Amino acid sequence: MLRSRFRRIRLTSVQLVVLFYLIAVTISTFLIGLPIAHQQGVELSFMDALFTAVSAVSVTGLTVVSTADTFSVPGIFIIAFVLQIGGIGIMTLGTFVWLVMGKKIGLKERQLIMTDQNQSTLSGLVQLMKQILGLIFIIELIGALVLGTYYLRFFETWQEAYLQGFFASVSATTNGGFDITGKSLQPFAHDYFVQFIHTLLIVTGAIGFPVLIEVKNFLFSRQNSYRYKFSLFTKLTTMTFLVLVVLGAILIWAFEATSFFADKKWHETFFYSMFQSVTTRSGGLSTMDVNEFQEPTQLLMSALMFIGASPSSVGGGVRTTTFAIVLLAIFFFAKGATSIKVFGRELHHEDIHKAFVVFSVAVIVWSTGIVMLSISEPFPIVAIIFEVSSAFGTTGLSMGITPGLSTFGKIVIMCLMFIGRIGILSFLFLIRGTVLRERYRYPTERVIIG
């Protein structure tokens, strides 16, 4: 009885989150389609408005039209607002709906979010989320001020400089990937200060909500900081994030050593590798045209985008924890161990099963997307693999084929961005219609695998 109620509520909460996304897309499409949002003489088709809306709500950043050439100042503020809703809003709103709708279900999430067990009441949680939202807004504001002030040297008017700084800060923190420079961060390819600030903001958004909360607790805890215990989730996701960024940068550097980096200075190669590695986590901004990279690097970046950001962050993909648990499970299986021990804790077998399900579904969705686009689009396969990985990881990097996609191709990419954003688990729970009731059991029989 309790069990069936549990299920009905979880089902409803997932549906609610998805419903919220759909409403957000509808309203965004309407707002983005308003004539006031466009520059003079620019016509935006319904399809392109819809695509921009899905891209903004899912904070992906793939664009079929140039943001800089299409949208007016009010339009730019609308997009920034949608990014805010899509990135931070839905992230917390998802948690919120879960907490409000399913007090029972909150247990797991609560355990994750609440490392300070003294505050584990619903009101305490809402309070905490408000604090975090406040924190993120403050970070965005500081980012906007720092970047805007710095940009004063590049732009004629202070309005233009601060508009650029504001939009850049919002786009980076929400990992939105949109740009109003017209060429992403390429104008700042040699401005390491701008890249450093962007990296900080991108990581803030992509590292995951629970991690931010724990870091905040760690920093402002009333107890001694030395005794603060980070959760397994935070250790696992942060470690994976770090390893992916560093390993990604090293591989990009190695793959391009004799080609794109051949005539560059060491600090240029360092910052190009580092920024392009960080941005695959889900930022989507870039300091160069990825077409200048070699095919192996483009495939590597596709794999990194496929892995994506942390769970409960502004990013998509299979997520860092999923990937880490799959690798750990493989390693411990090969070693013949029956349990997975990491950071002095054991992983729950249900989480391991979930991770494998998510990874496998992701591989199937990803490869289906590639085959579908290969049917409808005339572009090289590498560009299609890159685009599909970028959409599923809600990263927003592109080899430039987005504006040229057919209507069918745009729909496929929109679906991928949507699935990438809500996550494979929510996607699976969506198709969970009536729960199979297990009234009977069958005998177990073993089969040969692999």
**What is the footprint of its own copies within residues 294-353 (CB under 8 A)?**
295-296, 299-300, 303, 311-312, 318-319, 321-322, 325-326, 329-330, 332-339, 341, 344-348, 351-353
CB of 316 to K ion, least distance (A): 8
Asked if residues 389 and 366 have their Cβ atoms less than 8 Å apart, the reply is yes
CB of 420 to K ion, least distance (A): 10
Residue closer to its own copies by CB (options 151, 429) is: 429
Residue closer to its own copies by CB (options 261, 429) is: 429
Which entry of K ion, its own copies, none binds 138, CB below 5 to 8 A by partner kind?
none
Buried b (16+ CB within 10 A) or exposed e, 319-344: bbbbbbbbebbeebeeeeeeebeeee
- Tell me the residue length of the chain: 450
CB of 177 to K ion, least distance (A): 3
Q: Does 12 bind its own copies (CB under 8 A)?
A: no
What are the beta bridge partners of residue 270?
none
Structure tokens that stand for 189 in this block: 């390819």
Which span sits near K ion by CB under 5 A: 26-34, 53-61, 109-117, 123-131? Answer: 53-61
Which entry of K ion, its own copies, none binds 100, CB below 5 to 8 A by partner kind?
none
Residue closer to its own copies by CB (options 162, 429) is: 429
Which entry of K ion, its own copies, none binds 177, CB below 5 to 8 A by partner kind?
K ion
Is residue 221 classed as helix, strand or coil in its secondary structure? coil
| C-alpha–C-alpha distance, residues 65 and 49, integer Å | 9
| C-alpha–C-alpha distance, residues 171 and 169, integer Å | 5
Q: Does 406 bind its own copies (CB under 8 A)?
A: no
Site string for its own copies, 262-301 (x = CB under 8 A): ---------------------------------xx--xx-
C-alpha angle 301/307/419, rounded to 5°? 110
Phi, psi (5° rounding) for residue 341? -105, 125
Q: Does 374 bind its own copies (CB under 8 A)?
A: yes
Integer CA distances (angstroms), 207 to 216, 278, 281, 293, 301, in order: 13, 11, 9, 27, 18
18's enclosing H/E stretch is: helix 2-33
Site string for K ion, 382-401 (x = CB under 5 A): --------------x-----
The footprint of its own copies on this chain (CB under 8 A) covers a number of residues equal to 83
Residue closer to K ion by CB (options 95, 313) is: 313
Residues 142-201 that bind K ion (CB under 5 A): 175, 177
Residues 277-306 that bind K ion (CB under 5 A): 282, 284
- For 234-278, the DSSP string reads HHHHHHHHHHHHHHHHHHHHHHHTTTTTTTS-HHHHHHHHHHHHH
Structure tokens that stand for 113 in this block: 């979010």
Which entry of its own copies, K ion, none binds 218, CB below 5 to 8 A by partner kind?
none
Of 391, 417, 400, the closest CA to residue 183 belongs to: 400
Site string for its own copies, 90-119 (x = CB under 8 A): ------------------x--xx-------
Binding site for K ion (CB under 5 A): 61, 175, 177, 282, 284, 396
